[in-house]
Amino acid sequence: MKQDKSQAAFSAARKVIPGGVNSPVRAFKSVGIDPVVIDHAKGAHITDIDGNHYIDFVSSWGPLILGHANDDILKAIQEAADKGTSFGAPTQIETEMAQLIVDMVPSVDKVRMVNSGTEATMSALRLARGYTKRDLIVKFAGNYHGHADSFLIKAGSGAITLGLPDSPGVTAATAQDTLLADYNDLDSVERLFKDHGKDIAAIIVEPVAGNMGVVPPNKGFLEGLRKITTAYGALLIFDEVITGFRLAKGGAQEYFNVMPDLTTLGKIIGGGLPVGAYGGREDIMDALAPDGPVYQAGTLSGNPLAMAAGLAMLKTLNETPGFYEEMDRKAAKLEAGLKNNLEKTNTPGLINRVGSLMTMFFTEKDAVKSFDDAMASDTEKYANYFRKSIESGIYLAPSQFEAMFASWAHTDEDLDKCIEASYCAMKEMQG
């Protein structure tokens, strides 16, 4: 695999961009090679500037559920761009987008558009605190909700990939307002509420953890969070930046039939453009300015290009018969093939999958149900597997603690090639 141009481009980037990247995991540090630099993509395939072709299972970290450069989305962006790229003023497409989200997501009565998942979760916390008039937030070790200060306490995703679970720059006072619980452990949550319940504004949780690798909720876990928050007058916030519109039309809350008070969204609703949103019960959302006292604003919020792309995306998901059943079929085929490879090559590992999200953990454990379970994975083995996979034209997340994303654009031939390449990689690793 030729990498001359990518290596030169990365060297040039490091001179003017910290670490050479604009988001840390992209640097490939945990997998021990320089990153490939992408030139273009279509469907389920990407091509780097050296001309290497890959089958993509990162999907821009989830939003490209229809694949790269989808024709309907590109057409919607072009038509919107012809009218202007930003107005900082109301447009009808914002309302159309908001209405579709309200129609699709069961717990959302009103929704506010923002520009990223981090902005959505940060704003949802402020709203929860303003609405309840309480200060404390409960989050779970290994759950990642963006890089706002309140969340960088035992965060998942890039923070654990780089060995930086706590970030300098987060003040002690801010950290004290965030209480840590253990994912899939209701007892740890109940203890926090027993001690601090009257001061806790909300629990924020990834309903399916996707940033310590994919870790599904235990049976009764989400229902337990709903019961605890209701009993103490706190809010339940589902961070559906990854799961929203991917597991079902109504996201994880529809998939598991547990309704939060607030929901944060991102990724898919921009169709590949920068976007985020948060929404929930009408009485809570009405606490936002200009109707209420909780302030949040953004010049580019509801940007017409992002709204057009997201609207085209959501309409396709909403109107395509059997969409989620077909996505599940593809993901199940991939899961079965990878599991078979683990068994045939006698490679210690397991796969967690929920819908079209999955992670293959290289681990001796029988199950990965918690942050500690995930941290026991063999990251060196994953790095070796990643390097062999990318050399075979399979583009995976450069971290053990991320997800593989199946897309509508993946063909059965793509899946077969991935399974075959995975087997070859594991066989070489054993040799």
Catalytically active residues are: 144, 239, 267
d(Cα 40, Cα 142) in Å, to the nearest integer? Answer: 33
Cα 428 from chain centroid (whole Å): 31
- Tally the C-alpha atoms within 13 A of residue 336's C-alpha that lie toward its C-beta: 8
d(Cα 133, Cα 200) in Å, to the nearest integer? Answer: 9
d(Cα 27, Cα 398) in Å, to the nearest integer? Answer: 9
d(Cα 401, Cα 382) in Å, to the nearest integer? Answer: 10
Consecutive H or E run containing 45: strand 45-48
List of residues 6+ apart from 82 with CB closer than 8 A: none
CB distance 222 to 77 below 8 Å: no
d(Cα 346, Cα 219) in Å, to the nearest integer? Answer: 30
What are the Cα distances from residue 136, in Å, to 118, 162, 183, 187, 425?
A: 18, 28, 18, 18, 46
Task: Give me 148's structure tokens.
Answer: 């706002």
Pairing status of strand 394-395 against strand 53-56: parallel
Helix, strand, coil in percent for the chain, rounding step 5:
45, 15, 40
Closest CA to 139 of 157, 158, 153: 153
- Residues 287-322: b if buried by 16+ CB within 10 A, e if exposed: ebeeeeebebebebbbbbbbbbbbbbbbebbeeeee
Sheet of 350-354, strands arranged across = 350-354, 357-361, 404-405
Query: Sign (positive/negative) of CA torsion 84, 86, 90, 95?
Result: positive
Closest CA to 278 of 268, 265, 297, 293: 265
